Amino acid sequence: MSQPDENPYLRLENQLGYSFSDRHKLESALTHKSYLNENPGWGRPDNERLEFLGDAVLDLIVGHLLMELQPGRNEGELSKMRASIVSELGLAEVAAELGIGEWLFLGRGEEQSGGRRKPSVLADACEALVASIYLDGGFEAAFAVVRHLFGARVSELRDGGAADFKTRLQERAARKRVQVRYSVVEEHGPDHDKTFEVAAIIGDREYARGTGKSKKEAEQRAAELALRALDDEPE
């Protein structure tokens, strides 16, 4: 039997690098409106209002991080960079890396329609989660978590935009009529500060391995190294 003081969200908090003082705020961030419709006595609001606040908090913090790394960029360029990082796809990728889907409170219909994997649902939950941290711990806490979760993505843009090595590798592989896939080989470090090692595999051969603070970053680095290996091969 679970003890009253056990924290069911400990693993998620370790990945975030933040511990909530009020877990009700965390649970609200994870509550989809479909769950509340079916469970009116749940006692937590859904995460829609938190999404609204989280969107603003993310824009501010990601904008701040870009200003640090892009001193020579103009407003238009910075806006495009920020938009790519906090897009639905970008937020859904971060949410998927955290495994937020497994923590969501969903209604039966949303559950059956694959809500735990829907980019829109994951992106909304990611925004709500940032807002809940802001409300629970203040701006400094939110800033630290956003830097932790999005720092690698911002770093990839520090030279004016991440060189999309994965796209280039896919194009090279298509000319050879083979497929590219990426496989996580190892994960190092605690949940809140992991380093990923990813292999780039073309056809049935591993060409390179890359490391990064996110799977996306590790894949980009593996793709970059694989492109170099292909350059050393005769076409």
Active site residues: 55, 127
Provide the token pair at 197: 């090692």
List Cβ neighbours of 93 (8 Å cut-off, separation of 6 or more): 216
> Long-range contacts: 63-72, Cβ < 8 Å, 24+?
64/143, 65/146, 65/147, 65/150, 65/151, 65/154, 66/154, 66/157, 69/154, 69/155, 69/157, 69/158, 70/157, 70/158, 70/160
**What is the rounded CA–CA span in Å between residue 166 and residue 79?**
24
**What is the rounded CA–CA span in Å between residue 167 and residue 209?**
17
Provide the token pair at 62: 């990601």
Angle at 222 (CA atoms; ends 216, 224), nearest 5 degrees: 105
